[in-house]
Chains A and B, each alone.
Chain A
Amino acid sequence: MIFRQLGYLFKAAGNNLWNFRGRNFISVLIIGFSFLIIGIFLALSNNLTYLGEQLSNNLAISFFLDKNLKSEDLEFIKSQILTSSLVDQVAYVSSDEALKRFTASFPELKDILDHLQSNPFPPSYEVRLKKKTMSLTAITSFIENIRHLKGVIDVQFNQEWVEKMESLSRIVKAIGFFLGGILIMASFFIISNVVRLNVFARKNEIEILRLVGATNTFIRIPFLIEGFVLGLLGSLISIFILFLLIKIFPIYVGSSLGAAKELLALRPLTTEQLTWLITGGAVIGTLGSVTSVSRFLRV
């Protein structure tokens, strides 16, 4: 009997979705639009995170060394560098290697180098920091520790750049929390109200079912299924439009943004984010529907 009732309920939900297709279509569009805004925000935020990671990947510190260091001294300095948890890789660049790089980068200055008696470039350790290493205090303290070791003659590190990165990262996070919070709350209210209006338009139907002896569960289930489907469709549509935007955005808008192009690019959502969007749509649709129906179940 329960399966038969469930059969009727699924059929009723399907019929209702079709019978009220105009209203449902608008609901799906509104839900989709709300999720699209969240999606665009996530895609922009993904891009900023990506840029941040790229920049931190390129963060390198060069410790210039005395040319006459013995191999055990070199090993000692390397071991000291590697004790820091900030360090990802350490590479030794010999004087010859440094000279080669210089000539490759600045071939027009080769003549000047030819006139020099000896190789002017000191050997160095090039240190790459781990991804997401943004704490300037930690980096400065690490540099100070190594700088004072015997045999280290100089350090090259762009502190201003790290400071900028650090503040950019803070701003992005703050905007992320603020806008993300507002967007999620606004979307929740918009979506639950759309679903509520949808249910309100069918308040008579709920009353009639109550008066002819339907249980609350019997009345709720079709609305629950409908809410689930509308929420799911809305979030899927938003993902589809977002996908198109990501493809089209750089072609039509990207070039007109000039220097901001890199910052304002949309980067595809991760599988985890997509799953959250889809689940969010289905959950908000279902919850909005069920809570709205409950208001009319007191006849």
Chain B
Amino acid sequence: MIELYHIWKQYQKPHWALSDVSIEINSGDFCFITGPSGSGKTTLLKIIFKEILPTEGQILIDGVNILKIPDHKIYRLRRTMGIVFQDFRLLFHQSVFDNVAIPLKILGIPYKEIRRRVFNALRQVNLHHKMWEFPQRLSYGEQQRVAIARAIVNNPKILLADEPTGNLDPELAFEIMSIFKEINKQGATVIIGSHDRELIRHFGDKIFFLQKGKIIGKEVKQ
């Protein structure tokens, strides 16, 4: 369970990127955080995986206050998460295979197993035929799929994705969402920041509406 209590975030005075955001996301939820550009979606996601710290407020994940986890132990939290960054954050001097394999190498998983899992993850995003390519030779959409494969390769407990389908055509976007849904069915909590209304309408079980850093609404499908 992910609980955010009175989260405030200010990058520069006097503007608040987030103002008093309090939300609860249950384990196994498939939820969207939506809103126009600049509404604070990315900031909120970054706070959940502690890339940035809130100016005020508390965040509990499975009862643990993540703001109290010291920097050198934060890896434990992140190993339970899969993150699709808005800017992909791929290593351009490493092959697609190596990029997707990073979370597995970190855990010291045997190479054979890494190969199997990376291949499966890439097959899910329909990119297994480009396993040995380098990211700079891929299209924007393909790079995004590499980022998605890296996020799902480790069967994370929590999957965070910031505009994961922003550069994909509608068909592929639906396919990717189906993959996320599949991971969700296996027990993972999925949180997606997106402004794609069509996708949200089709897939969203729980939707939080953000505007100018404030939660202005919540919708839960029955």
Q: Verify that A and B bind, or say they do not.
A: yes
Chain A interface (Cβ within 8 Å of chain B)?
1-2, 4-5, 8, 15-16, 19-20, 204-205, 207-216, 218, 297-299
Query: Closest CB of chain A to B142's CB: distance in Å?
Result: 18
16 more A-B contacts (CB under 8 A) besides A4-B110, A216-B75?
Answer: A1-B107, A1-B108, A4-B109, A4-B111, A19-B93, A204-B89, A210-B74, A211-B49, A212-B78, A213-B75, A213-B76, A213-B78, A213-B81, A215-B72, A215-B106, A216-B72
- Within the assembled complex, what's the spacing in Å between the Cα atoms of A207 and B89? 9
A-B contact count (CB 8 A): 61
A-B CB proximity, top 5 nearest:
A213-B79, A1-B108, A213-B78, A5-B108, A19-B93
The reply to whether A214 and B91 form a contact with Cβ atoms under 8 Å apart is no
Chain B residue contacts of A208, Cβ below 8 A: 89-91, 102
- Within the assembled complex, what's the spacing in Å between the Cα atoms of A8 and B90? 18
The reply to whether A213 and B89 form a contact with Cβ atoms under 8 Å apart is no
Residue of B nearest to A209 (CB): B102
Interface residue? B9 (CB, 8 A): no
Write out, one digit per residue, whether chain B residues 103-119 have a CB within 8 A of any chain A CB (1) or not (0). Answer: 10111111100000000
- Within the assembled complex, what's the spacing in Å between the Cα atoms of A208 and B108? 18
Residue of B nearest to A299 (CB): B51
Query: Closest CB of chain B to A213's CB: distance in Å?
Result: 4
Chain B interface (Cβ within 8 Å of chain A)?
49, 51, 71-72, 74-76, 78-79, 81, 83, 85, 89-91, 93-94, 102-103, 105-111, 150
Query: Closest CB of chain A to B110's CB: distance in Å?
Result: 7
Chain B residue contacts of A207, Cβ below 8 A: 89
Query: Closest CB of chain A to B140's CB: distance in Å?
Result: 18
The reply to whether B91 and A20 form a contact with Cβ atoms under 8 Å apart is no
Query: Closest CB of chain B to A216's CB: distance in Å?
Result: 6
Chain A residue contacts of B90, Cβ below 8 A: 208
Chain B residue contacts of A298, Cβ below 8 A: 71
The reply to whether A212 and B51 form a contact with Cβ atoms under 8 Å apart is no
Interface centre among B74, B109, B110 (most CB of A within 10 A): B74
- Within the assembled complex, what's the spacing in Å between the Cα atoms of A214 and B76? 9
Interface centre among A2, A15, A215, A297 (most CB of B within 10 A): A215
Complex A-B: 27 CB contacts under 8 Å: A1-B108, A4-B109, A4-B110, A4-B111, A5-B106, A8-B108, A15-B94, A20-B93, A204-B89, A204-B91, A208-B89, A208-B102, A210-B74, A211-B49, A211-B51, A211-B78, A211-B85, A211-B89, A212-B102, A213-B81, A214-B106, A215-B72, A216-B75, A218-B106, A297-B71, A298-B71, A299-B51
- Within the assembled complex, what's the spacing in Å between the Cα atoms of A69 and B78? 97
Residue of A nearest to B72 (CB): A216
- Within the assembled complex, what's the spacing in Å between the Cα atoms of A15 and B98? 11
- Within the assembled complex, what's the spacing in Å between the Cα atoms of A20 and B92? 12
Residue of B nearest to A2 (CB): B108
Chain A residue contacts of B106, Cβ below 8 A: 5, 209, 212-215, 218
Chain B residue contacts of A20, Cβ below 8 A: 93
- Within the assembled complex, what's the spacing in Å between the Cα atoms of A215 and B74? 8
Chain B residue contacts of A299, Cβ below 8 A: 51
Residue of B nearest to A4 (CB): B108
The reply to whether A211 and B93 form a contact with Cβ atoms under 8 Å apart is no
Chain B residue contacts of A205, Cβ below 8 A: 91
- Within the assembled complex, what's the spacing in Å between the Cα atoms of A210 and B51? 9
Chain B residue contacts of A210, Cβ below 8 A: 74-75, 78
Query: Closest CB of chain A to B181's CB: distance in Å?
Result: 23
Chain B residue contacts of A211, Cβ below 8 A: 49, 51, 78, 83, 85, 89
- Within the assembled complex, what's the spacing in Å between the Cα atoms of A212 and B90? 11
The reply to whether B83 and A212 form a contact with Cβ atoms under 8 Å apart is yes
- Within the assembled complex, what's the spacing in Å between the Cα atoms of A1 and B110? 8
Chain B residue contacts of A19, Cβ below 8 A: 93-94
- Within the assembled complex, what's the spacing in Å between the Cα atoms of A243 and B186? 66
- Within the assembled complex, what's the spacing in Å between the Cα atoms of A209 and B76? 13
- Within the assembled complex, what's the spacing in Å between the Cα atoms of A212 and B72? 14
- Within the assembled complex, what's the spacing in Å between the Cα atoms of A211 and B110? 22
- Within the assembled complex, what's the spacing in Å between the Cα atoms of A19 and B136? 14
